[in-house]
Structure 1
Amino acid sequence: MAELANCPRCHALFVKGPAIVCNDCVKREEEDFQLVYSFVRKKENRTAAILDIVRETGVEEYKIREFVKSKRLHPAQFPALSYGCERCGAEIREGRLCESCTVSIRSGVQKQGELDDLEARNKKEGLGPVTYYTVNDDNR
């Protein structure tokens, strides 16, 4: 069932369907994409940085980065294009996370798995949770 919603960009009322923005914003986004694509397709502009594209086309930086992230503009064809890691904001060309964040998350998951295994083993052996105590050096 269709639902009424306000467009997150222009706040116009529209029937929410597959698109999350109103038809006018979809058309504007497509016009912006065509403008950017026609600019970077020119041989002399293939290595243009995002800020150069913004300056020459007038399209906002976040839209250009969204075009790259959604694979409408491929970094393989346009090597200076990138977007931000969803965790730290570092410039990346594919995926959602940079290599550093991926390694960090994998390490955390691995450590949590080891802790879960230790807890399960202690529970199986009848040991309670491990309690750690601190020693106050002031009383010595």
Structure 2
Amino acid sequence: MAELRNCPMCGAFFNYTGLREVCHNCAQKEEDLYQIVYRFLRKRENRAATVDRIEEATGVERELLYKWVRKGRLHPAMFPNLGYPCDNCGRLTNKGKLCEKCTEEIKSGLRTFEAAKEFRESIIQQDRATYHAERNKK
């Protein structure tokens, strides 16, 4: 069922159905900007352009470029210098929410945590298996 929302770009009311986040007019403007960027990138000399260069040459905001890369409309395989910021450190990445360095840091932390957990569990098991005998005092 549709929900009435304000367009975040122009403030107009529109029926939000989950397909797009903006009203029809703003969606059309975004599509026109996408076509400008895509035509720019299709030229052989521009395929390796960075986000800064694309923003400078086309006037399209970097947030829109990031959105299109995230959604897969601009493929980093075809345009290798494109990406979007990592949610953790801000370094450009082109898959997932985190860059490779942040992903590796999290994995390393999890491995360390798991090793410490296993060590604690082994100590507890050893304490349970140890029997203490009391000496009789005379």
In structure 2, runs of 5+ residues without a counterpart are: 129-138
Counting only pairs closer than 5 Å after superposition, residues 1-140 of structure 1 correspond to structure 2 as: 1-18=1-18, 19-114=20-115
Q: Deviations over 1:11-60 (max 9, x none)?
A: 21111112222111211111111110011001121122222211111111
Instruction: Determine the C-alpha separation between the residues in 2 that align with 1:55 and 1:39.
Output: 11
Q: Deviations over 1:106-130 (max 9, x none)?
A: 2333344456656777888999xxx
**TM-score, length of structure 1 as denominator length:** 0.75
Instruction: Determine the C-alpha separation between the residues in 1 that align with 2:94 and 2:3.
Output: 35
Matched residue SS, 1:65: helix
Over 3 Å counting, the alpha-carbon distance change for 1:43 and 1:110 in structure 2 is same
Offset at residue 96 of structure 1 (A)? 1.9
User: In terms of mean alpha carbon deviation, does 1-10 or 112-121 score higher?
Assistant: 112-121
Mark the structure with the bigger radius of gyration. Answer: 2
Number of aligned positions between the proteins: 127
Over 3 Å counting, the alpha-carbon distance change for 1:7 and 1:126 in structure 2 is farther
Q: How many percent of aligned residue pairs carry the same amino acid?
A: 41
RMSD (Å) for aligned C-alpha atoms? 2.3
**TM-score, length of structure 2 as denominator length:** 0.76
User: In terms of mean alpha carbon deviation, does 111-120 or 98-107 score higher?
Assistant: 111-120
